[in-house]
């Protein structure tokens, strides 16, 4: 497995994990039942930048892979 594939996988996994901000209402209900709603108040301030950074990582890896493929093709003689 090359480095670009690892970057794409890590970025995609981080994007999926950071999309928990869409589940914030569910977390608020579940954590409210446990008395832990103080953790939900600042959750979006962390998850949205993580989501943006992980999408940027995926784009970086895809661009890097595309440029690497063009450089590896042999020129016809």
Closest listed residue to residue 48, CA positions, set 14, 72, 71, 75: 14
Give the side-chain half-sphere CA count within 13 A for 69.
8
Q: E strands, 1-77, where?
A: none
Q: State the pTM of this model.
A: 0.50
Sequential pLDDT tens for the chain (77 residues):
677 788 888 878 877 776 766 666 777 777 788 887 777 677 777 777 877 887 888 888 888 877 776 555 555 66
């Amino acid at each position: 497995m090359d480095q670009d594939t690892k970057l794409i996988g890590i970025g995609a996994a981080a994007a999926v994990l950071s999309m928990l901000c869409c589940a914030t209402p569910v977390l608020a209900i579940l954590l409210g039942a446990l008395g832990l709603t103080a953790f939900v108040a600042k959750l979006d301030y962390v998850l949205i930048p993580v989501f943006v950074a992980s999408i940027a990582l995926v784009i970086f890896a895809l661009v890097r892979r595309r440029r690497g493929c063009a450089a590896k093709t042999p020129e016809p003689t």
